[in-house]
């Protein structure tokens, strides 16, 4: 009988092939901290080393021997949850090999609690890989009585130090790391030691922009909101209707679709003195930005969403996704359609069917029970009616003040439902004549969702299945048509450019022929001092021809034609003008506020074609101008972005400007020479721009220019 043997080189194979990318490897190590019930991970990433330190359970010598030193240990799969009830992220027992992928040398400190020994281990991965047999690979371990260096001065935890790194780290790679880790971190930093969901990752790095990039990605989920509801109790000295222990006013605003709706709600017999809140509403049906998957975002809100209450910065554990303290789920189950809190003019029929469920909400309500009791004593009111925290310190006492709190927050949600219903009705009327099939199907599916309790479950399941099939089929057809439209736009742009390219290329060939003849003459007559000059002329013509070819470069690359990206606006537009250089008489744009602006998802070829047509339009408009300037700048209004291209050309009549996007419409007449060059004059450039804009989910129009400019073209889109 023979036994299998395992080569130690398998350590490298497992580490590299199972992980594959540095940010995923580092995420695996941090997920081990999550599985160990850590509440804080301190991460340091510099040019020479990475340190991961947590305050988790740590490991005893037995645990280190049985689990960490055993490759493929199934103990996590058998446990399923951590000692504190967290669902474990690991199961295969190979995540620790990510350390081998990241660095040549690993040092570990771990301790399972006060009074227990501190284990210090080191692994030379190069030596381990060369050990021959896997069972011969070693880690050097020793014990000491000193306290480990763990976050928040904890006596237990694990600290990993990775030295002699195998990859270079920068802000972009740490942003990718944040993309892997954001689902683990709640949006709230817990103020209570018994909050089992608390998990914070604190990054420090001397790499430029690294901390900001990481933190931005870790908070990306909170920027996906579709609507924002905010409210505050107006201070007594600013409230003309207010009186202590009596009538008080709550100022509420709902931000939705770029509009803000304000409302003042009066609470009778209000026992509150301090209150402010913000609640964000999420629409997680469509593709989300920042690389966030819809299903992952939904799971995150199911786990961490809802409306939370903070008492003087102290997070009350009871309030969250599972606590229906605002009676939202109750009203859905009772199929209420009209608000009990809003006046008749703000209660259109069926408005409350747009009330969001807890799984679509993230909110924070700030109160202060200490100040509420103090105010009650000061005004000689009954303290039992003041907002009070229960003895268990997990929730508020259900009294008059608490009911005022519920009313103040809930009226904001009811107002959102009214605004959403009105917006929905307006969109239906606006889109009804032209809306695509998937939009119509989505509207029907929304109706089914709102009336699901009234439809027998088997019938509802069958209806939903059929609608999903229709929507998926229609979306596939729409995407196919959009892809064809985008490619058609880029090919049409290339066709228009080809005429100009041919004109300029012919001139280049003529220059080459002249220089070649002169070079032959110089060599024959032994005028060698002219040879260097003539060779320089030849190379200059060749370089010019290469620059002209850049006009077609986005179309020549299969990746640029097919792969969807979110390109940075400034380099892309600058590249377009650089490629147009020989045809644009050296006109280059000035840029303002475009440093970090990224365009919506689309192929490099589509975006290049769009901006090339706009650039040619601006350049042609300036042929007769004494001053030739182009300014490209960015404007943001909430979630709506605009990039404006302004020029000092002949200008357009804004009342007639939209007609310029129709085929064969021209705003200016070009001189015969410029028509011969071939750029512009066909009347198709702006038509192609609008076609590409629809494919890229943005809009293009003419707007009022800034002082000193004649024309302004705006490309606008809404941040998803």
More confident of the two residues 509 and 682: 509
3-state secondary structure of 687: helix
Question: Are 654 and 702 within 8 A, CB to CB?
Answer: yes
In the chain, residues under CATH classification 3.30.565.10 are 10-218, 482-718
Residue 676 Cα distances to 499, 500, 578, angstroms: 9, 8, 21
Question: Are 107 and 121 within 8 A, CB to CB?
Answer: yes
Q: What is the pLDDT of residue 671?
A: 47
**Per-residue pLDDT tens digits for 77-89:** 556 678 877 777 7
**Per-residue pLDDT tens digits for 19-75:** 568 888 898 889 889 988 999 999 999 998 999 999 999 988 888 887 777 765 555
What span, in angstroms and rounded, lies between the C-alpha atoms of 218 and 224?
Answer: 12
What span, in angstroms and rounded, lies between the C-alpha atoms of 57 and 37?
Answer: 7
Beta strands 699-703 and 711-718, pairing class: antiparallel
How large is the average pLDDT for residues 190-199?
A: 62
Tell me the β-bridge partners of 281: 227, 361
Calculate the CA 696 to chain-centre distance: 18
How large is the average pLDDT for residues 11-20?
A: 56
Residue 435: exposure state from Cβ atoms within 10 A (0-12, 13-18, ≥19): middle
pLDDT band with cut points at 50, 70 and 90 for residue 445: low
Non-local (6+) Cβ contacts of 511 within 8 A are 537, 541
More confident of the two residues 6 and 148: 148
What span, in angstroms and rounded, lies between the C-alpha atoms of 425 and 583?
Answer: 49
Q: Describe the strand order of the beta sheet including 699-703 as a list of residue ranges.
A: 590-592, 630-637, 640-647, 711-718, 699-703
Residue 96 pLDDT more than 60? yes
Q: What is the pLDDT of residue 677?
A: 42
- For residue 592, what is the enclosing H or E element? strand 590-592
More confident of the two residues 361 and 655: 361
State the CATH architecture for 10-218: 2-Layer Sandwich (3.30)
What span, in angstroms and rounded, lies between the C-alpha atoms of 231 and 501?
Answer: 60
Residue 584 pLDDT more than 70? no
DSSP assignment letter at 396: B
More confident of the two residues 563 and 199: 199
Q: What is the pLDDT of residue 607?
A: 86
How large is the average pLDDT for residues 333-345?
A: 85
Question: Are 219 and 186 within 8 A, CB to CB?
Answer: no
Non-local (6+) Cβ contacts of 192 within 8 A are 314, 315, 317, 393
Question: Are 230 and 201 within 8 A, CB to CB?
Answer: no
pLDDT band with cut points at 50, 70 and 90 for residue 255: very high
Q: What is the pLDDT of residue 428?
A: 64
DSSP assignment letter at 381: -
Question: Are 705 and 646 within 8 A, CB to CB?
Answer: yes
**Per-residue pLDDT tens digits for 447-490:** 777 677 777 878 777 777 777 776 666 655 555 554 454 445 55
Dmax over CA atoms of the chain, in Å, equals 114
Q: What is the pLDDT of residue 265?
A: 94
Residue 417 pLDDT more than 90? yes
Long-range contacts of 340-346 (CB under 8 A, 24+ apart): 341/265, 341/407, 341/410, 341/411, 341/414, 342/265, 342/411, 342/414, 342/415, 342/418, 346/263, 346/415, 346/418
Looking at 319-328, 354-363, 375-384, 444-453, which range is the least confident one?
Answer: 444-453
Residue 458: exposure state from Cβ atoms within 10 A (0-12, 13-18, ≥19): exposed
Q: Which of 219-228, 413-422, 460-469 has the highest mean pLDDT?
A: 413-422
- For residue 252, what is the enclosing H or E element? strand 248-256
How large is the average pLDDT for residues 164-183?
A: 89
3-state secondary structure of 539: helix
Residue 649 pLDDT more than 80? yes
Q: What is the pLDDT of residue 366?
A: 93
Question: Are 55 and 37 within 8 A, CB to CB?
Answer: no
Residue 353 pLDDT more than 90? no
Question: What percent of the chain shows pLDDT beyond 70?
Answer: 71
Question: What percent of the chain shows pLDDT beyond 90?
Answer: 19
pLDDT band with cut points at 50, 70 and 90 for residue 529: low
Q: Tell me the backbone φ, ψ of residue 430, rounded to 5 degrees.
A: -70, -40
More confident of the two residues 679 and 396: 396
Nearest C-alpha neighbor of 76 from the set 37, 131, 123: 37
pLDDT band with cut points at 50, 70 and 90 for residue 229: very high
pLDDT band with cut points at 50, 70 and 90 for residue 396: very high
Looking at 233-237, 428-432, 602-606, 614-618, which range is the least confident one?
Answer: 428-432
More confident of the two residues 616 and 678: 616
Q: What is the pLDDT of residue 335?
A: 76
State the CATH architecture for 482-718: 2-Layer Sandwich (3.30)
pLDDT band with cut points at 50, 70 and 90 for residue 6: very low
**Per-residue pLDDT tens digits for 599-624:** 988 888 888 888 888 888 888 888 77
Structure tokens at 590: 């000035």
Q: What is the pLDDT of residue 541?
A: 62
Residue 442 pLDDT more than 90? no
Q: What Rg value do the Cα atoms of the chain yield, rounded?
A: 33
Q: What is the pLDDT of residue 676?
A: 42
More confident of the two residues 720 and 644: 644
Nearest C-alpha neighbor of 292 from the set 406, 201, 176, 191: 176
Q: What is the pLDDT of residue 260?
A: 93
Count the neighbouring beta carbons within 10 Å of the beta carbon of residue 513.
Answer: 10
Q: What is the pLDDT of residue 130?
A: 63
Residue 14 pLDDT more than 60? no
What span, in angstroms and rounded, lies between the C-alpha atoms of 233 and 412?
Answer: 12
Tell me, letter by letter, the H, E, C secondary structure of 10-56. HHHHHHHHHHCCHHHHHHHHHHHHHHCCCCEEEEEECCCEEEEEECC
More confident of the two residues 554 and 417: 417
Whole-number average pLDDT of the chain = 78
Q: Tell me how many degrees the CA angle 486-678-702 measures, rounded to the nearest 5.
A: 55
Q: What is the pLDDT of residue 157?
A: 92
b/e per residue, 42-75, with b = 16+ CB within 10 A?
bbebeeeebbbbbbbbbbbeebbeeebbebebee
Helices marked H in 400-557: 400-431, 437-450, 457-524, 528-549, 553-556
Side-chain-side CA neighbours of residue 238 (13 Å)? 8
Can you say whether the dihedral through the CA atoms of 647, 651, 655, 658 is positive or negative? Answer: negative
């Amino acid at each position: 009988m023979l036994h299998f043997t395992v080569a130690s080189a398998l350590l490298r194979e497992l580490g590299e092939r199972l992980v594959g990318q540095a940010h995923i490897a580092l995420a695996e190590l941090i997920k081990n901290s999550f599985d160990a019930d850590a509440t804080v991970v301190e991460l340091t990433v510099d040019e020479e080393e990475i340190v991961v330190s947590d305050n988790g359970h740590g490991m005893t010598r037995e645990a280190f021997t049985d689990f960490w030193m055993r490759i493929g240990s199934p103990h996590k799969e058998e446990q399923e949850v951590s000692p504190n009830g967290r669902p474990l992220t690991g199961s295969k027992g190979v995540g620790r090999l990510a350390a081998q992928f990241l660095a040549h040398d690993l040092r570990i400190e771990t301790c399972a609690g006060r009074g227990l020994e501190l284990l210090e281990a080191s692994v030379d991965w190069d030596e381990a890989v060369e050990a021959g047999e896997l069972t011969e690979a070693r880690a050097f371990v020793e014990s000491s009585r000193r306290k480990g260096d763990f976050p928040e001065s904890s006596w237990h935890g694990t600290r990993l130090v990775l030295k002699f790194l195998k990859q270079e780290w920068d802000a972009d790679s740490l942003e990718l790391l944040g993309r892997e880790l954001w689902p683990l971190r709640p949006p709230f930093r817990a103020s209570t030691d018994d909050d089992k969901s608390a998990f914070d990752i604190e990054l420090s790095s001397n790499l430029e922009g690294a901390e900001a990039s990481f933190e931005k990605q870790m908070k990306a989920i909170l920027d996906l909101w579709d609507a924002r509801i905010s409210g505050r109790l107006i201070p007594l000295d600013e409230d003309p209707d207010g009186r202590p222990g009596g009538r008080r006013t709550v100022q509420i605003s709902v931000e939705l679709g770029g509009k803000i709706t304000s409302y003042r709600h009066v609470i009778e017999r209000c026992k509150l003195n301090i209150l402010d809140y913000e609640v964000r509403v999420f629409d997680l049906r469509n593709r989300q930005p920042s690389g966030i998957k819809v299903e992952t975002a939904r799971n995150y809100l199911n786990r961490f969403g809802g409306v939370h209450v903070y008492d003087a910065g102290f997070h009350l554990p009871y309030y969250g996704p599972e606590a229906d303290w605002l009676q939202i789920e109750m009203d859905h189950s009772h199929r209420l359609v009209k608000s009990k809190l809003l006046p008749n003019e703000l209660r259109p029929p069926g408005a409350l069917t747009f009330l969001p469920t807890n799984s679509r909400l993230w909110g924070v309500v700030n109160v202060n029970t200490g100040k509420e009791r103090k105010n009650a004593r000061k005004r000689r009111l009954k303290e039992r009616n003041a907002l009070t925290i229960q003895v268990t310190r997990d929730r508020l006492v259900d009294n008059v003040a608490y009911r005022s709190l519920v009313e103040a927050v809930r009226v904001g949600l009811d107002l959102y439902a009214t605004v959403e219903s009105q917006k929905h009705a307006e969109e239906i009327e606006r889109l009804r004549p032209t809306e695509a099939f998937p939009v119509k199907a989505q509207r029907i599916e929304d109706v089914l969702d709102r009336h699901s309790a009234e439809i027998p479950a088997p019938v509802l399941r069958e209806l939903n299945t059929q609608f999903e099939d229709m929507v998926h089929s229609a979306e596939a057809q729409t995407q196919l048509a959009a892809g064809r439209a985008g490619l058609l736009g880029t090919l049409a742009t290339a066709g228009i450019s080809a005429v100009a390219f041919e004109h300029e290329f012919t001139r280049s060939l003529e220059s080459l022929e002249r220089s070649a003849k002169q070079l032959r003459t110089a060599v024959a007559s032994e005028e060698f001092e002219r040879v260097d000059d003539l060779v320089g002329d030849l190379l200059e013509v060749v370089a010019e021809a290469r620059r002209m070819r850049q006009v077609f470069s986005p179309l020549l690359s299969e990746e640029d034609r097919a792969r969807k990206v979110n390109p940075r606006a400034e380099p892309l537009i600058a590249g377009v003008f650089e490629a147009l250089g020989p045809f644009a008489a050296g006109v280059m744009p000035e840029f303002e506020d475009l440093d970090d602006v990224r365009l919506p998802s689309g192929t490099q070829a589509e975006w290049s074609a769009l901006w090339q047509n706009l650039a040619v339009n601006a350049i042609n408009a300036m042929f007769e101008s004494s001053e030739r300037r182009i300014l490209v700048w960015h404007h943001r209004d909430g979630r709506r972005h605009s990039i404006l291209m302004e020029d000092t050309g002949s200008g357009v009549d804004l009342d007639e400007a939209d007609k310029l996007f129709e085929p064969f419409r021209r705003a200016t007449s070009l001189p015969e020479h410029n028509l011969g060059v071939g750029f512009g004059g066909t009347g198709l450039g702006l038509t192609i721009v609008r076609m590409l804009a629809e494919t890229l989910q943005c809009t293009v129009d003419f707007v009022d220019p800034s002082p000193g400019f004649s024309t302004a073209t705006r490309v606008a889109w809404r941040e998803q």
